A and B are shown apart, each in its own frame.
Chain A
Amino acid sequence: MTLLPFVQWLAGTPGSTALHESTYAYPLVESAHVLTLCVFLGLAVMWDLRLLGMTLTNVPMSQLKERLGPWMTGGFIVMVITGAMLFYAIPVRSYQSIWFRMKAVALVLAGLNAVVFHRTIDRRIEEWDKDPVPPRAARLAGVRSLVLWTIIVVAGRMIAYNWFDCDKQPQSALVNTLAGCVVDVHGAP
């Protein structure tokens, strides 16, 4: 399955071109995306560190969820909207970026990790709510989250670099496969 025709169509829409060529809109959207990192991921890091028993140990986990959750949700919504706009501005190159693909996979895994956390150890939160150091399953969820978000941030930053871009051939067959580059038998783009 390839979404290439779809992203090519997306790139041809007037909004995509306008955003791509704008002097201020694109940098402003990107700044909002990066700075909201402080709100969403900053608080997610505090949440994960609490799960690891490394900060705010006197705050019951249920209270931390209730008080910081809405701020994280708000930050996350802004990140998703601005992120979608950044993709919309440069659809084909983003789609064919191994960094973007790595980020997308890590995002899905981070989402799964959150779902598993909520459906398992979080269900029994009253048993460990006030523990300064939560049980192993909760700590593991915290570690997995920190690792995945590190990958998401680093891969996201790397999208800006063109080392593995499809129009920079020859690339190794592995890069071309992972990035979904369309190349002829001679490796020309």
Chain B
Amino acid sequence: MNLLPYFQWVSETPVGQAITRSSWLFAVIESVHLLALAVIGGAVLVLDLRLLGLGLRDQPIERVARDAHPWLVGSLIVMIVSGVLLFSSEPIKCYYSTPFWVKMSSLALAMIFAFTVRKNVALAGEGRVRPVWLKVVAIVSLTLWLGVGAGGRWIGFSA
């Protein structure tokens, strides 16, 4: 399947054109994207550390998961909206960028994992999942999100 025509179409949308033409819109949207990164980082880390038996280890996993969840979802929404806008201003560059595809693949996997396996494991209740599996889930989660972040940063470095 060749996606290039769709990417081409995105580059011609008024929104994409406006962001490309503006000297400051991209920078402003990028800042919002970066601020949401910090929030998503905190929301992911606070639960993954707990699953590893670190961080807030005196708290039940389920409580940490429930408290972190709205911040994860909220920051993810801000990330996706700002990310789509950034993408719309340079889709052709993204199409030919390996880091972009690494990031999108990691993002798809990270989101699926977060809202299926990780969520179910965290909400399973005390003692229902063996500690070693909690740790595996946390490591998979952290690895996938690291792929998203590192891939994202590297899009900017590839010419």
Contacts and interface: CB of A to CB of B under 8 A. Distances in A.
A37 B154 contact: no
Contact of B42 (A31, A43, A57, A67): A43
Interface string B65-93: 00110110000000000000000000000
Nearest to A158: B27
Contact of A153 (B31, B42, B45, B71): B31
Interface class of chain B by DSSP: helix
Q: How large is the interface on B (under 10, 10 to 19, 20 to 34, 35 or more residues)?
A: 35 or more
Contacts of A157: 27, 30-31, 34
Interface of A: 27, 30-31, 34-35, 37-39, 41-46, 49, 55-59, 63-64, 67-68, 71, 149-150, 153-154, 157-158, 161, 163
A42 B67 contact: no
Contacts of A56: 46, 56, 59, 64, 67-68
A150 to B, nearest CB: 6
B43 A42 contact: yes
Contacts, number: 104
A61 B40 CA distance: 21
B4 interface: no
Interface of B: 23-24, 27, 30-31, 34-35, 37-46, 49, 54-59, 63-64, 67-68, 70-71, 145-146, 149-150, 153-154, 157
B59 A27 contact: no
26 contacts: A27-B154, A31-B150, A34-B37, A35-B146, A37-B37, A38-B38, A38-B42, A42-B41, A42-B42, A42-B43, A43-B42, A43-B46, A45-B38, A46-B71, A49-B71, A55-B67, A58-B59, A58-B67, A63-B56, A67-B55, A68-B55, A68-B56, A150-B35, A153-B34, A153-B38, A157-B27
